[in-house]
Amino acid sequence: PGSRGLLHSEDEVALPCIHKLVAASSFSKPKVLTATSTLKFIPEELAVFCRDFRLLHFSFPGNGLAPQAFRVANAIAQAREAAAWLGDAAEGHRGWSCPDEAPPEEEEEDEEEGLSSTLLFESLWDWEKELQRLGAVGWRVSAVNERFDMAPSLPQYLWVPSGLLDHDLKRTFAHFQERRVPRLCWHHPAGGDLLRAASFHPASEPGSEDVRCLEMLLLGDRGPCVLADTAELPTLADIQLAHLRLQALCLPEPSDRDLNCLLASLVQLLGDPHARSLPGFQSLVQREWVAAGHPFPRRLGLLRRDSPREEAPVFLLFLDCTWQLLWQFPADFGFTEAFLLALHDSSFSPYFSTFRFSCQRQRGHSSTSQLPSHAYRPMGGWQEPGGPGGGPGPCPFPPVWAWGRRYSRQQQQRFRNPAGAPGPAEPLAPGTPAEPCPRGGSRLVLTLAKGSLCPQPLPWWGRPPLRPPHRVSPPESQGRPGGLLGSCHPRPGLLLPCTAGPCIRLWHRCYLRGLPQEQ
Amino acid sequence: EIHIKEPIEKEVNPHLLPGELLLCEASTVYKYMQEDGSNRGTYGKLVCTNFKISFLDDDSASDDNEPQFKNKIVGENDITLQCVDQIYGVYDEKKKLLTGQLRKYPEKLIIYCKDLRVFNFCLRYTKEEEVKRIVSGIVHHSQTPKLLKRLFLFSYASAAPNNTDGRNQTVMFETLEDWRDELERTKGNVRYKAVTTNEGYRVSEKLPLYFVVPICISEESILKYEGRGIPIWCWSCHNGAALLKMSTFPKEQDDSTSQMQKAFLDGIYKTISKPPYELLKLDDLSSSLPSLQDIQTAYTRFKQLFLIDNSTDFWATDVKWFSLLESTNWLEIIRRVLKKAIEVAECLEIQHTNVLLIEESATDLCCVISSLVQVMMDSYSRTKSGFQSLIQKEWVIGGHGFLDRCNHLHKSEKEEAPVFLLLLNCVWQLVQQYPPAFEFTETYLTVLSDSLYVPIFSTFFFNSQHQRDTNRSGESLKTQTGPFRFLTVWDWAVQFDPKAQAFLNNPLYAEKPKPDKSQRKTARFKHQRQLSLPLTQAKPSTKRGFFREETDHLIKNILGKRIGKFINSADEPPNSLREFYDSWHSKPVDYHGLLLPRIDGPEIKVWAQRYLRWIPEAQLHGGGTIATAAKILDLMEEVQSLQVKMDEEHSQAVSGDVHSVPLLRNSARLSSLFPFALLQRQSVKPALPTSTWKDLEDEDDLVKRDDEFVDLSGDML
């Protein structure tokens, strides 16, 4: 902690990172300053509450600094407002610009080591490589969305069943909210698949041909599919089910852009040792959040005050969850708390393509946007990012993973956990081949609700397929031999976090940085 | 329902210690492995001796499943009589506390232990007379008042004459020499002296045989009020400032007596405030710290969070865990005690004043604060032998009433208060904040806390040195070989074999480099460097500077309060203390110098190892601190083997002192409960919170839905 990269000292704060500005004097009440509500008294003290939980506290001693104090306070308030950009970046990002300086001459080779081994999922090659690592047989990379014309908020490349032709795949987009179709996000070595999708479009009325394609996409010939409702976030139960070789677990969420990101990445953190290595984690965030179209600017509250605010720290929640896991399993992660803190802080920094845009399409567009005249110039310059393989037009902002630009080598060394065993990046060894699911054949669709599975008809099915009634049996019945949670020694590589109260902690290095003694 | 395994008729006999007598037993007792409703468990024999309650199942005879960390005296299914906290009987699903005479005998027995284990025994299959005998036997021997001489300590000591010299470098403070050495070690011998005034306990039975007072205190004043009103030395800081303690006079009705006492005290204060003594600062702990009653109440509530009957209970309370924890106030008490210790450390270190701790008996909170201050300021107290010597000095010989405070004899619950546990909890906070500064581990603290209830050691079973000495003589056994020779708890070999003892030593302890004679100067320099704290407060600066400082303070106060209202509403400690604390924390830690605990709310944590070790719901498979520890031990082993290889290559020198490191390598991923819990089960939060479940039960449609659920478990096995 205490490494703020670009900013030179602990006393600097990026304008978008200012959460609240409060001025106080001995003669009036403390006042919150905004661009519209200006100061009516000479401030004696100024407190800057930062989004990264720091608190900068300035006082102006009375010897003739009064006018400056007044000007400075108002200037900060206005600059801060100007720093927030209007609406989504797609509407043009006035107020912010990318530096036009040339990249620095001296290039340190190993500096971007973390970056080069991080898959940015901007190129076809990245998707192919990761699919190969997962060893997901029966899936292929589809370039159907290459021009973002099928689903604007989805990435260019999607993992879909091999048996489904692009022609057929195209039929399915219309039936999902925001055209976000079900697609693979992770393949369990034992054979289960984790899918994510938006919920079905309420107005869609698929014809028979569409139904065939939809079912092909959702069910394939893999057997029953379980829909896990993100409304209750049953993470443990999810992996339980994935492990029980229910062939596929699909996460539908109305938008597929918030909690699905959280859940999909948490499941992978628990189940895939590679995701717990530093490059693996960066790739995970890149795929499940950045490429998947998590609307960072809106959720992090980086937009201008008067634009519609839909702030919700979903990504920060994910970082906190990751910290809980890191704390519970200190020897299983390749990265450290310092890394998570750096990522946390960087999310309020406007200089990274990672958090500036809501989807891949916008990132691509940004390269052509015009720069306003009052360009902000951060110290230092940027390296041309462009992951391996190029991808869409080079974005002028570097990804957040270019740590070498902002953090010293020494600081970066603190990102790596000496006790952690980074997972292998090579293809996962296939587990025992999945046994065919004994029940229901391939047309069974189940929902996971409150720890139990209930059959769920797809919207276009008239009635659920016939099957014998079954008794309630929560999948977690305790101590059952053979089950994931009943066995004494879980599969190596799988983490089973404890969710009981005593095991959940406050991430104090993150949240309590504002206390003076912590700084 | 219960799947009955044929009770095995094999005769299993309890393992008895010397002097241990079997009092009663019952066979075909069913012990639940886990009280989760699954009713799984084992049949066996429940016995009660004059030392312990013990459950013997078929496995207890065979020893193939030896755990790595095993207590030789108290086994997994043993509960010493002093370790029993409360016993409940279950009658028709209703729990009732069992204390004295019983009219009806329960079908189930739940024993809550002071080391936080919970045992569930089912007596339904036991013969009625056996139930009567065992239940009344257990309740009688563990819950009713006892005579001191009936403690197992005495039978053990007379049956097993102790010839071991288990001091292992621990200073016992039983001799004048020990006190003089301590004075010399801390360089307190210029102004303080060890006195023999209390030989034969002439002064007081509460005071130790030898103790240390300021040189200027006369023998008459010591004798005048049985040692009350006399400042007794605890420890001297490197700068000469001393930590003293004093027991006060009881409240007098008589005016003239209290006048005289006041005059006496004034005289004492005057003598020890004069040079060569530093300024004196008084701290009346009875007003500045929570009362013993508060501490007892808080701990009683706190431990209830961990004495969990069954899994259902756990998950039911889990929803409210943080608010329940908060409401116990236990962590807040730990915080206040740590804060007080920092205050005292600041006075000694920065202000160069002597600190006199005042308490009615000077044997409770005085012990906590003085021990903590020494652990923080004296790196010797952070070694194993140093810590043990400290406990001897301040607690055992210092006269802490262990017998009363632990209520070992069940004499009076009013006297009970977990004062020593409070110290261990505070030290644990330091250990987990600065692991490399301590030679011992948290496991050491945990087993030390468990040893409070093992009555084969004299350490924690007397109220004072006097009480121990007078009972040692063995009057009733005059014909016997003479005075009892008690074991001390510091002889860890009694409880643990060398392999298990390795868990008590911190492999990452940053050992103090041994000062070579040639390097003395640098060592001293280092010693001084650790004091490089702002010393501005100590001496008033020039007048002008002083004025400036004053105005600065004024401004700070005015504005500080104003802004403080919305920034930090917590009551702020005085400025100098805050500065001391902040400036120390802004510097890199010197593990051999002053150590200040961080005391902000979230930094004060629950001692998970001690309190959660028997709760499988809170365990992490392959996680927790043990995961890192295992990695480190692996590395150390590798380093050591490489070292051996190098030594072999370089010379013929035999490296004999390779420390043995517990072998963790071959074991599978360890659970966070390691090295305590042997049970490896996982309990999962019920998908439906209990409260919701209840709501749902009222709904009719649940019945209908029932049929639609799919049972997956059957096929997945």
Using H for helix, E for strand and C for coil, what is the string for B135-177? HHHHHHHHHCCCCHHHCHHHHHHHHCCCCCCCCCCCCCCCCHH
Other Cβ atoms closer than 10 A to A223: 23
Is the pLDDT at B645 greater than 60? The verdict is yes
Amino acid at A145: N
pLDDT value at residue B412: 87
pLDDT band at A14; cut points 50, 70, 90 = confident
pLDDT band at A155; cut points 50, 70, 90 = very high
Q: From the CA of A156, how many Å to the nearest CA of chain B?
A: 38
Q: From the CA of B665, how many Å to the nearest CA of chain A?
A: 14
pLDDT tens column, B297-311: 999 999 999 998 877
A231 close contact with B: CB closer than 8 A: no
> Do A329 and B686 count as a contact with CB atoms less than 8 A apart?
no
Q: From the CA of A60, how many Å to the nearest CA of chain B?
A: 11
Of residues B89 and A475, which shows the higher confidence score? Answer: B89
Q: How far apart are CA A25 and CA A41, in angstroms?
A: 8
Residues A256 and A313 in one domain: yes
Residue A94 is assigned to a structural domain of this protein: no
> Do B566 and A473 count as a contact with CB atoms less than 8 A apart?
no
Average pLDDT for residues B584-598, to the nearest whole number?
92
How many percent of chain B have pLDDT more than 70? 77
Number of structural domains chain A divides into:
3
> Do A57 and B563 count as a contact with CB atoms less than 8 A apart?
yes
Residues A314 and A408 in one domain: yes
Q: How far apart are CA B121 and CA B115, in angstroms?
A: 18
Please give the backbone phi and psi of residue B376, each rounded to the nearest 5 degrees, phi first.
-75, -35
> Do B567 and A469 count as a contact with CB atoms less than 8 A apart?
no
> Do B706 and A331 count as a contact with CB atoms less than 8 A apart?
no
Is the pLDDT at A106 greater than 60? The verdict is no
Cβ atoms of residues A421 and A493 within 8 Å: no
Residues A292 and A411 in one domain: yes
What would the DSSP string read from start to end of A201-266?
PTT----HHHHHHHHHHHTTTT--EEEEPTTS--HHHHHHHHHTT-SEEEEEESSSSSHHHHHHHH
**Best CA proximity match to B192, nearest among B116, B157, B147, B244:** B244
Here the tokens at position B614 are 């028997």
Q: From the CA of B573, how many Å to the nearest CA of chain A?
A: 13
pLDDT value at residue B327: 94
A517 close contact with B: CB closer than 8 A: yes
pLDDT value at residue B108: 92
Is the pLDDT at B363 greater than 90? The verdict is yes
Region of poorest pLDDT, from A364-378, A434-448, B73-87, B432-446: A364-378
pLDDT tens column, B210-219: 999 999 999 9
Q: How far apart are CA A512 and CA A52, in angstroms?
A: 10
Provide Rg for chain B, Cα atoms.
28
Nearest to A470 among B315, B582, B710 (CB): B710
Is the pLDDT at B657 greater than 80? The verdict is no
> Do B619 and A497 count as a contact with CB atoms less than 8 A apart?
no
The domain in which residue A355 lies consists of 252-368+396-415
> Do A496 and B621 count as a contact with CB atoms less than 8 A apart?
yes
> Do B684 and A483 count as a contact with CB atoms less than 8 A apart?
no
Is the pLDDT at A125 greater than 50? The verdict is yes
Point out which residues pair with A194 in neighbouring strands: A186, A249
Residues A209 and A258 in one domain: no
Q: From the CA of B85, how many Å to the nearest CA of chain A?
A: 23
> Do B627 and A332 count as a contact with CB atoms less than 8 A apart?
yes
Residues A131 and A215 in one domain: yes
pLDDT band at B519; cut points 50, 70, 90 = very low
pLDDT value at residue B595: 96
pLDDT band at A491; cut points 50, 70, 90 = low
Rounded to the nearest 5 percent, the helix, strand and coil shares of chain A are 35, 15, 55
Is the pLDDT at A477 greater than 50? The verdict is no
Q: From the CA of B302, how many Å to the nearest CA of chain A?
A: 13
Residue A3 is assigned to a structural domain of this protein: no
Mean pLDDT taken over chain B: 81
Q: How many helices and strands in chain A, by DSSP H and E?
A: 15, 12
**Best CA proximity match to A437, nearest among A290, A246, A275:** A246
**Best CA proximity match to A511, nearest among B603, B238, B331:** B603
Region of poorest pLDDT, from A45-54, B229-238, B331-340: A45-54
pLDDT tens column, B123-149: 999 999 999 999 999 999 999 999 999
Contacts by B194-203 with C-beta closer than 8 Å and gap 24+?
Answer: B195/B219, B195/B222, B197/B222, B197/B223, B198/B227, B201/B466, B203/B227
What does the DSSP 8-state code read for residue A289?
I
Residue A70 is assigned to a structural domain of this protein: yes
Chain B residues near residue A454 by CB distance under 8 angstroms: 705, 708-710
pLDDT value at residue B708: 42
Interface of A with B in 9-28 (CB under 8 A): 22, 24, 26
Interface of B with A in 619-648 (CB under 8 A): 619-625, 627-628, 630-632
Please give the backbone phi and psi of residue B466, each rounded to the nearest 5 degrees, phi first.
-60, -50
Cβ atoms of residues A430 and A189 within 8 Å: yes
Is the pLDDT at B417 greater than 60? The verdict is yes
Residue of chain B whose alpha carbon sits nearest to that of A514: B567
Residues A273 and A360 in one domain: yes
Residues A259 and A404 in one domain: yes
Q: How far apart are CA B582 and CA A518, in angstroms?
A: 9
Interface of A with B in 413-432 (CB under 8 A): 419
Nearest to A330 among B628, B705, B708 (CB): B628
Nearest to B684 among A329, A332, A476 (CB): A476
Amino acid at A507: W
Q: From the CA of A57, how many Å to the nearest CA of chain B?
A: 9
Amino acid at B23: L
Cβ atoms of residues B120 and B110 within 8 Å: yes
Residue A66 is assigned to a structural domain of this protein: yes
Boundary of a domain, candidates A219, A236, A262? A219
Nearest to B684 among A55, A478, A516 (CB): A478
Residues A268 and A406 in one domain: yes
Residues A265 and A355 in one domain: yes
pLDDT value at residue A50: 82
Strands A28-32 and A18-25 turn out to be: antiparallel
Residue A499 is assigned to a structural domain of this protein: no
The reported pTM is 0.80
Of residues A331 and A227, which shows the higher confidence score? Answer: A331
pLDDT value at residue B704: 46
> Do A501 and B558 count as a contact with CB atoms less than 8 A apart?
no
Best interface-test mutation with A: which of B432, B710, B711, B713 has the largest number of A CBs within 10 A?
Answer: B710
Residue A463 is assigned to a structural domain of this protein: no
pLDDT value at residue B426: 97
Chain B residues near residue A480 by CB distance under 8 angstroms: 713, 717
Of residues A367 and A439, which shows the higher confidence score? Answer: A367
Q: From the CA of B618, how many Å to the nearest CA of chain A?
A: 6
**Best CA proximity match to B580, nearest among B285, B357, B382, B344:** B344
Average pLDDT for residues B627-634, to the nearest whole number?
79
Residues A311 and A402 in one domain: yes
**Best CA proximity match to A336, nearest among A121, A114, A491:** A114
Here the tokens at position B157 are 């000591």
B537: left (phi over 0), alpha (psi -120 to 50) or beta: alpha
> Do A45 and B563 count as a contact with CB atoms less than 8 A apart?
yes
> Do B687 and A469 count as a contact with CB atoms less than 8 A apart?
no
Average pLDDT for residues B62-67, to the nearest whole number?
58
Other Cβ atoms closer than 10 A to B482: 11
Residue A206 is assigned to a structural domain of this protein: yes
Q: How far apart are CA A305 and CA A517, in angstroms?
A: 32
Here the tokens at position B274 are 């004069």
B479 close contact with A: CB closer than 8 A: no
A491 close contact with B: CB closer than 8 A: no
Residue of chain A whose alpha carbon sits nearest to that of B696: A450
Here the tokens at position B397 are 């010989």
**Best CA proximity match to A453, nearest among A461, A464, A462:** A464
Average pLDDT for residues B560-565, to the nearest whole number?
40
Question: Which domains does chain B show, CATH number per domain?
Answer: 22-61+71-144 (2.30.29.30), 176-312+320-503 (no CATH)
CA atoms within 13 A on the CB side of A123: 14
Q: Give CA A460 to chain center in angstroms.
A: 32
Cβ atoms of residues B83 and B54 within 8 Å: no
ipTM of the complex: 0.73
Is the pLDDT at B296 greater than 80? The verdict is yes
Chain A residues near residue B38 by CB distance under 8 angstroms: 478-479
A486 close contact with B: CB closer than 8 A: yes
Q: Is A140 helix (H, G, I), strand (E, B) or coil?
A: strand
Residues A353 and A260 in one domain: yes
Q: Is B302 helix (H, G, I), strand (E, B) or coil?
A: helix
pLDDT value at residue A63: 65
pLDDT value at residue B11: 65
Boundary of a domain, candidates A85, A114, A145? A85
Q: How far apart are CA A183 and CA A248, in angstroms?
A: 11
Other Cβ atoms closer than 10 A to A375: 11
Interface of B with A in 649-708 (CB under 8 A): 668-669, 672, 680-688, 705-708
Average pLDDT for residues B279-289, to the nearest whole number?
90
Cβ atoms of residues B688 and A450 within 8 Å: yes
Residues A70 and A172 in one domain: no
Q: Give CA B73 to chain center in angstroms.
A: 19
pLDDT tens column, A401-417: 888 878 888 888 889 88
Residue A428 is assigned to a structural domain of this protein: no
Cβ atoms of residues B325 and B305 within 8 Å: yes
Of residues B438 and B625, which shows the higher confidence score? Answer: B438
Strands B211-214 and B232-236 turn out to be: unpaired
